[in-house]
Every structure is written in structure tokens, then in C-alpha cells.
Amino acid sequence: MNPNFSYILAGGVACLVLLAAFHSWVSRMNQFFFFSRTAPDGFSRTPAAQRIARTYLVRVWMGFAAAAIVFTVLLRFSGMWALGCFLVGMLVQVVACCFSFAQAHRAAGEAIAEVAGSARLEGESASTIAVSLLDPGAFTPALQTLLFLAPATAAAAWLISMLASGLGFSAFGDAIGAMHADFLTGLGCGLMFGSLLLYVQLRYFSRHRSPMARFTARGAVQLAWVGAACFAFSTLTVPMHLVVTREVRGILLGIVILIALVRVVYGWTKARLFPPPAVERNGDQFWRWGLFYYNPADPTLFIQHRSGPGYTLNFANKFSWTLPAFLLADFIFLACIHLRR
């Protein structure tokens, strides 16, 4: 048995407890959770709503129990890396929480229909409601300038480092690979291009006058500069003769993930600051299991998620798949580089 087994097990279970506690905490957010945004005022205090919330909490902690068992068994008997065991356990818990949410959303919809009149709601769900897209207005010029300065800075770092090394374009790229810094180059390019793509889609294909849209746009700018920093660091490894080890890559990747998590946690703690636009506070019938938005008559690519402060895709719009497809491709590319090293 691994001498650190007890410590790894305790740490992994503690993380799963925190995840279950997080899902339990957000269930208290009425109008941002499975009671839907069209629930009558005071519905969350009715016996039916309280029963739904209790059932949801029981299912969340049952999911935690299942995840803890899977993590423990894999860690003890499978021979997998501890991180892999934890990720499998976390996946089990996330799937269980999503299932619990879908069940709670369905039960809440039935309870709300009894309060508001099932005939009227059934009539609404049978029709496709056209939801207009607000006229796109430019985000602030300062924000756009900061966004597009990020790739310009990365390009300048490449040019300066290449000239300082006295190498041609192709030879300089090979030298970055020799320093094992191509992982950082791919990470930086992915963050910058993904941020630009997200910003453009937010600007032209979302109801971006909402506070959530502006918050997300600022996040895109921040991630673009993190990507520019990763890219610039990869170019500096050649003139400075720095070899990027697995440990360094792990630290830098951890910093990127930490920045993203801090923004997510901040968004949840400030959920009341990001109310959805009035036009998005309807259309319960277009939410599949309360998780996936599907409305062919809505031209937006993004819509504020009803399970919290953030965005989800309009899966009926084929252009909404471009960003997830790019992120998946970039993740596979980085994983292949990391495993090769």
C-alpha cells in the first residue's frame, strides 16, 4: 500500500465534500436555480418547493457517497494515478448532481404549473417563441484595446526573442520545442484565440448589455493577457536557455486554472449582481432538463444559465458549437504535447 494512501484519500474526499457543499449551498438561490426564473413570488417558501429542495439535497449527498466510494476503490485497487482516480470520482459526483438538478427542475416545473395553471403553460410549450436579439453596441474602446494588445504583445515577444537569438522563424520555432516550451506556446495561443472568439461572439451574438455579459467580456480580456504571458515566456526560454520541466508546466497551468476558478467563485458569491435580462426570464419550455437551452427562434449564441451566474449555449444555433470545438481541440493538442514530454 502506498504510504501516502491515507493522506491522498483524505485530501480527495475533502475536495468531494467541498463540491457537494457547493451544490448544496447554491440550491438556496431562488430565481437562479431549479425553481426557474418564472416562478411566482414566494414559491420557494411553499411546502412543495421545500420538499423538492430537501430531495435534491439528499440526492446530492448520495452522489457524494457514490463518488467517495469510487475514488477509494480506484485508489486502493486500480493502480491508477491518484489524480486520475480523483477525476473519475469527481465525474461521478458531477453526473449525479446534474441528474439531481434535472429531476428537481422537472418536479419544480410540475409544481409551478399547478400554481400558475397547467393549461396555460402547456399551451406555451407547444409553440416556438421568437426571442429578439438586442441591437449590438460596441463594448468600451478601452476594453477592446486591451484585448487586441494581448496578441500584439505576444507577437512582439516572439520577434524580439527571435532577433536576440539570431534565428529564423522556423529555426526559432524548433528551438522553442527543444526547450520543451511548445506546451506554453500552445496554451498561450489557445487562451488568446479562445478569448478573442468569445469576445466577438459576446459582442455580436449575445444580449451583452447585461451585467453578466460585461463581466464575462472583462474575463475574456484577462484570459487573453494570461495567454500572452504564457506565449511570451515560451519565447524567452530560447535566448535565456531555460528548459521548461513538467513541474514548471504544472505550476503555470495551475495558475491559469486558479484564475478561472477565482472568477467562477466570485461570480457565484455575487450572483445577485448579475440578473438576467428581462427577455431571458421566460421560456422555461426551452430548457431541456433545466440544463440545456434549445430555441431555434432565438438568434443568440449565449444565454445566461438558470442554475447560476454564467452562460450556457443555445444548442439550437449551429454557430454556438465553434467555441467548444476549438477548446476541445486545443485541450487534446496540449494533452498530446504533455504526454509526449
Same domain, 207 and 88: no
According to the model, what pLDDT value does residue 17 have?
93
Rounded distance, CA 308 to CA 33, Å? 6
Domain boundary among 76, 94, 125: 125
Distance from C-alpha of 294 to C-alpha of 315, rounded to nearest angstrom: 5
**Of the ranges 111-120, 161-170, 226-235, which one carries the lowest mean pLDDT score?**
111-120
Report the distance separating Cα 146 and Cα 191, nearest Å. Answer: 15
Establish if 264 belongs to a structural domain.
yes
What lies within 8 Å, CB to CB, of 253 at 6+ separation is 187
Same domain? For 160 and 107 the reply is: no
Residue 297 shares a structural domain with residue 254 = yes
- Indicate if 70 and 160 belong to the same structural domain: no
Residue scoring higher pLDDT (237 or 134) = 237
| Residues in contact with 71: Cβ distance below 8 Å, sequence separation at least 6, in sequence order | 9, 12, 13, 16, 85, 86, 88, 89
Structural domain span for residue 21: 5-125
182 and 282 within one domain: yes
Work out how many domains the chain is built from and give that number: 2
**Which domain-ending residue is among 125, 158, 176?**
125
Same domain, 117 and 151: no
The secondary structure of 151-210 as a DSSP string is HHHHHHHHHHHHHHHT--HHHHHHHHHHTT-HHHHHHHHHHHHHHHHHHHHHHHHS-TTS
What are the tens digits of pLDDT across the range 190-237?
Answer: 889 888 888 887 777 777 667 787 788 888 898 899 899 989 999 999
Mean pLDDT for the stretch of residues 161-181 = 89
